Amino acid sequence: MNRDQQVTYRCHGTKNTVPSEWSGEIRFIRRTEPYEIEATARGSCFHIIFGHWKNGGFLCVPNWKIGCEIVSPHDQFWNRESIQRSGHDIHEADVVSISEAVAKASDVLDFML
């Protein structure tokens, strides 16, 4: 897969999210740590940087002023809570779009914590 190739991913919202599912696209910017992707979903664009630090994992979304710790890239509950606790008023669907993008990108990149 080349650097600019896009991957489609599925988002699965919570019981309060309407619609309950939607798709997004990931474009890979940097394929080594710290990983860097651009994800788009439901009309929003997220520039996501993620990787390891001494206490585990992190993700930053600089264009949304978000930075937080993550656990396993697939632990959607914990990661969504961490994004929401980052202190920003962010719509639940956007939180889901970010956490699902990191999970899908992690599969492609073989990123594990």
Which pLDDT score, from 0 to 100, does residue 47 have?
Answer: 98
Contacts of 102 (CB under 8 A, 6+ apart): 48, 50, 59, 70, 73, 79
Task: Give the chain's domain count.
Answer: 1
With a cut of 80, say whether residue 113 has pLDDT above it.
Answer: no
List, as one string, the DSSP characters of 51-99: EEETTEEEEEEGGGTEEEEESSTT-HHHHHHHHHTTS----HHHHHHHH
Cβ proximity of 92 and 83 under 8 Å? no
Which pLDDT score, from 0 to 100, does residue 15 have?
Answer: 79
Which pLDDT score, from 0 to 100, does residue 18 have?
Answer: 77
Residue 71: inside a domain: yes
Residues of the domain holding 82 = 6-109
In this prediction the pTM is: 0.91
Write out the two tokens for 24: 């997004």
Identify the band that residue 106 occupies on the pLDDT scale cut at 50, 70 and 90.
Answer: very high
Residue 11: inside a domain: yes
Residue 29: inside a domain: yes
Residue 1: inside a domain: no
